[in-house]
Amino acid sequence: MSTNRLFLDEDQVRAVLTYGHLIPAIRTALADFSSGRAVQPVRMILPVTAHSGWFATMPAIYGDVMGAKLVTFYPGNTALHKHTHHAVIQLFRSSTGEPLATMDGRLITEMRTAAVSAVATDLLATPQASVLAILGSGVQARSHFAALSHVRQFTDVRVWSRNPHNAQAFANEIGAHATTAEQAVSAADVVVTVTSSPQPVLLGKWLKPTALVCAVGSCTPDRRELDNETMRGPIVVESRDAAQRESGDIIHSGSPIAAELGELLNGATLQRNDHPIIFKSVGIAIEDIASAKLVYEKFSQSNP
């Protein structure tokens, strides 16, 4: 790696970051995390009460690099036509502590979140999965459609949003069908929830037993997207510690965690029941640092 310190804005990150390279990098990072080859604490979240947001720090050490993401979440930004998440990632050389790069983290957050769901879908969804339901119509809805299309060929895509206008616009954009939440989910092979709803938008009675649910939108203890019936299936997470502390879906349902995704990638067996598999994602630092490392390497290669 070069000793020159880089400062990369979102456009520079976008120019080198692709799902084709990111999904395998995330797969490896999650396997390494669950096998103890990466070090990270649960993120520290500082509420910004006056503005109904929060500010979090997410550090990790991963092989020859280490770093931290500083990220903000302001759900009210939607009404202001601004992104709800903003972030900056600082990358260091782990052997010497030298700064390597400072880069915009908003796009990395957007893409790595969807890449994690793609890894889960590739591993946990039925091989013949062809019907996708997306509950939500924002940034993560779009990134999930793009990322999941790398691991399954969906011939029927349904979308729902609390804002019907946004749902129709998103559906038109990706060639999907906008409908009710129940109709979107009914008989779907993969269901993605990417809303900022504080209460459940997905009911377990709508789901077929062989479905996979990728629950992404609620990543704080006071929010949940899934009802208790949905949470009766085997629960897979990125990190037990993070999910038990941060996931409102897990905290309020009291559902046990069956496995970390990395454990399954490393060969562990998931005990199934007659309910859909639930992959509950909250986002962890190793995903950001692995993504930032990939960006740093790709940018350095293209700009020697």
The Cα-based distances of 39 to 35, 67, 94, 237, 239 in angstroms read: 10, 11, 12, 17, 12
102 shares its domain with 221 = no
84 shares its domain with 96 = yes
Residue 200 one-letter amino acid: P
19 shares its domain with 129 = no
What domain range is 228 assigned to? 116-284
Burial (CB count <10 Å: 0-12, 13-18, 19+), residue 20: exposed
pLDDT of amino acid 215: 98
- Taking the C-alpha atoms of residue 65 and residue 286, their distance in angstroms, rounded to an integer, is 11
> Kind and range of the H or E element at 236?
strand 235-237
pLDDT of amino acid 223: 86
121 shares its domain with 102 = no
241 shares its domain with 155 = yes
DSSP state of 204: G
pTM here is: 0.94
Nearest of 216, 220, 236 to residue 278 by alpha carbon: 236
pLDDT of amino acid 1: 42
Tabulate helix, strand, coil % of the chain (nearest 5).
40, 25, 35
pLDDT of amino acid 23: 98
Nearest of 65, 67, 68, 69 to residue 93 by alpha carbon: 65
For residue 275, being part of any structural domain is answered with: yes
The total number of structural domains that make up the chain: 2
For residue 69, being part of any structural domain is answered with: yes
230 shares its domain with 159 = yes
How far is C-alpha 175 from the geometric centre of its chain's CA atoms?
A: 23
127 shares its domain with 254 = yes
CATH number for the domain spanning 241: value is 3.40.50.720
CB of 261 within 8 A of CB of 23?
no
Q: Give the β-pairing of 53-62 and 65-73.
A: antiparallel
For residue 1, being part of any structural domain is answered with: no
Q: What is the mean pLDDT of each run of 10 residues along the chain (304 residues)?
A: 77 97 98 97 94 94 98 88 91 97 96 98 98 96 98 98 96 98 98 92 97 91 93 97 95 96 98 94 97 97 86
- Taking the C-alpha atoms of residue 250 and residue 164, their distance in angstroms, rounded to an integer, is 29
Residue 239 one-letter amino acid: S
For residue 104, being part of any structural domain is answered with: yes
For residue 195, being part of any structural domain is answered with: yes
CATH number for the domain spanning 298: value is 3.30.1780.10
84 shares its domain with 129 = no
266 shares its domain with 132 = yes
